[in-house]
Amino acid sequence: MSIQVIKKKQKADYVIIPYDEFIAYANEDLIDAAYIQDILSDPVEGEIMDFDFGDYVDNPVHLRRLKAGLTQKELAEKMGVTQAYVSKLEKSDSVSAKALKKVSDLM
């Protein structure tokens, strides 16, 4: 099973599973079937929308890394720094223009 967990402030906020697996769970009554039908049939509430990291991530380094599909370790290797440094950048309330430019140039 392919599962993606989206965290906000180090806490799991959403879990994403493939649509086919979601339907399989619904068919096995592991999820309330009436609720699923309501979601899937409602043109507004049930609409599947593209996920935008920008809705959940404020830090520009973190956002660029996620959009590039890189891990912290991969970005650190490209930057020639440690993974801990990338983590520190991503947790920072403000990022220097120099660090942001370095990250942007690598993407």
Per-residue pLDDT tens over the stretch 71-99: 889 999 999 999 999 999 888 888 888 88
For residues 59 and 84, give the distance between their C-alpha atoms in angstroms, rounded to a whole number: 16
Q: Domain 55-106 class? A: mainly alpha
For residues 95 and 90, give the distance between their C-alpha atoms in angstroms, rounded to a whole number: 8
Task: Identify which has the larger pLDDT, 21 or 60.
Answer: 60
DSSP string for residues in 94-106: S--HHHHHHHHHH
Task: Identify which has the larger pLDDT, 20 or 81.
Answer: 81
For residue 12, give the H/E element and its range: strand 11-16
The per-residue pLDDT for 44 is 54
For residues 70 and 84, give the distance between their C-alpha atoms in angstroms, rounded to a whole number: 15
pTM over 0.95, yes/no: no
For residues 103 and 87, give the distance between their C-alpha atoms in angstroms, rounded to a whole number: 13
What are the boundaries of each domain within the chain?
4-51, 55-106
